[in-house]
A = this chain, B = another copy of it.
């Protein structure tokens, strides 16, 4: 693995040098992990002039699912707690004779930036921007394999829940049970706060579970994901409770299903992100649900649950092969509930069989 991290750092260094900075300071935790193999709490990565350093606020701990620092990287632990590794890194760079440093200005606060400037007043500071986030968009097969395992775990957890009695249980209990099952099956933990919505709460993106109990006739929407070796996937399904769904429920489900399928089928290398969004959105639009649709149809996943690309009407850019994204259209009718269907897929060329579906739980409308 060590070569993987070293080659990622080399690519970043090349970008920095091209932009006129001889050194870079990476402080976003997911970016640190991507380049260093681990991101101990508060740690920053210095791509220095002469060597790279992982600067930690204390001795790195070996925690489950948090990875280990790349062995080819020197780890520098601050002697006393409370110091800011970013400030210490600027100090170390000055000692190495560094004269310029690119920073993640979308992550560093004003106060940290000021402190850093005051310990290293001679450093020419520049903005690294989202250079690391951009490197992270296309995944290697090792990363995709972690996402695939995470998706299997989420499928298993969801499958087991569906075999249990649901009526009478609260959204919060169902969400906690799903999270326990994720861990049972080997996840580091949930990839994000599990969402369970019943009745009027169903179909809402990011709904936080409440004490509402599942009732006969409800829609039940579930959205969960596993974190596995740091990689986060997402699956969302909507079910109906009871023996026979109402007509409006079947119609709404079929519509969202058609929109989600259109989104999935449009995924291919070279396709504009906004065209994936449009493929799904126009089906919901033309059925009269234009108002109140979520701003986004899907997004990239990886070390963070929401990363680039964004699948929105205004998105710039095109999809590449080996980019994992969610496709998750939904409709929520205030007071009544709704439907969301959410998969994680990897963009693959036609020659490789087209988009690879990671979350394989059925998308038939199940009556539970």
Chain A interface residues (CB < 8 Å from chain B): 63-64, 66, 80-82, 103, 105-111, 113-114, 127, 172-173, 176-177, 179-180, 183, 208-211, 295
Residues of B within 8 A of A105 (CB): 109-111, 114
Known: A105-B109, A107-B109, A172-B183. 16 other contacts (CB 8 A): A63-B208, A64-B210, A80-B295, A82-B295, A105-B110, A105-B114, A106-B109, A106-B110, A108-B109, A108-B110, A109-B110, A173-B180, A176-B176, A176-B180, A176-B183, A180-B180
Question: Can you list 11 A-B pairs, Cβ within 8 angstroms, ordered by A?
Answer: A63-B210, A82-B295, A105-B111, A106-B110, A107-B109, A110-B127, A111-B127, A173-B183, A176-B179, A176-B180, A176-B183
Task: Enumerate the 6 nearest inter-chain pairs by beta-carbon distance, A residue then B residue, closest first.
Answer: A105-B110, A81-B295, A106-B111, A63-B208, A176-B180, A64-B210
CA gap between A208 and B180 in the complex, in Å: 15
CA gap between A105 and B110 in the complex, in Å: 5
Q: How far is the CB of A179 from chain B (nearest CB, A)?
A: 7
- Nearest residue (CB) in B for A41 is B206
Residues of B within 8 A of A82 (CB): 295
Q: How far is the CB of A283 from chain B (nearest CB, A)?
A: 21
CA gap between A127 and B112 in the complex, in Å: 13
CA gap between A176 and B183 in the complex, in Å: 9
Say whether, besides A109-B108, A183-B176, A64 and B295 are in contact (CB < 8 Å): no
CA gap between A180 and B172 in the complex, in Å: 9
Residues of B within 8 A of A183 (CB): 172-173, 176
Q: How far is the CB of A136 from chain B (nearest CB, A)?
A: 18
Q: How far is the CB of A315 from chain B (nearest CB, A)?
A: 11
Residues of B within 8 A of A108 (CB): 109-110
Residues of B within 8 A of A80 (CB): 295
Residues of B within 8 A of A103 (CB): 110
Residues of B within 8 A of A66 (CB): 208
Q: How far is the CB of A27 from chain B (nearest CB, A)?
A: 10
Q: Select the residue from A114, A127, A208 with max chain B CB neighbours within 10 A.
A: A208
CA gap between A82 and B108 in the complex, in Å: 20
Q: Select the residue from A103, A111, A113 with max chain B CB neighbours within 10 A.
A: A111
- Nearest residue (CB) in B for A295 is B81
Q: How far is the CB of A112 from chain B (nearest CB, A)?
A: 8
- Nearest residue (CB) in B for A211 is B64
Taking a contact as CB atoms under 8 Å apart, the answer to whether B109 and A64 are in contact is no
Q: Select the residue from A106, A109, A177, A180 with max chain B CB neighbours within 10 A.
A: A109
CA gap between A39 and B179 in the complex, in Å: 25
- Nearest residue (CB) in B for A181 is B176
CA gap between A82 and B295 in the complex, in Å: 9
Q: How far is the CB of A74 from chain B (nearest CB, A)?
A: 23
CA gap between A127 and B113 in the complex, in Å: 14
- Nearest residue (CB) in B for A110 is B105
Residues of B within 8 A of A127 (CB): 110-111
Residues of B within 8 A of A180 (CB): 173, 176-177, 180
CA gap between A173 and B108 in the complex, in Å: 36
- Nearest residue (CB) in B for A186 is B211
Residues of B within 8 A of A208 (CB): 63-64, 66
Q: How far is the CB of A295 from chain B (nearest CB, A)?
A: 4
CA gap between A179 and B114 in the complex, in Å: 39
- Nearest residue (CB) in B for A175 is B183
CA gap between A63 and B201 in the complex, in Å: 11
Taking a contact as CB atoms under 8 Å apart, the answer to whether B113 and A110 are in contact is yes
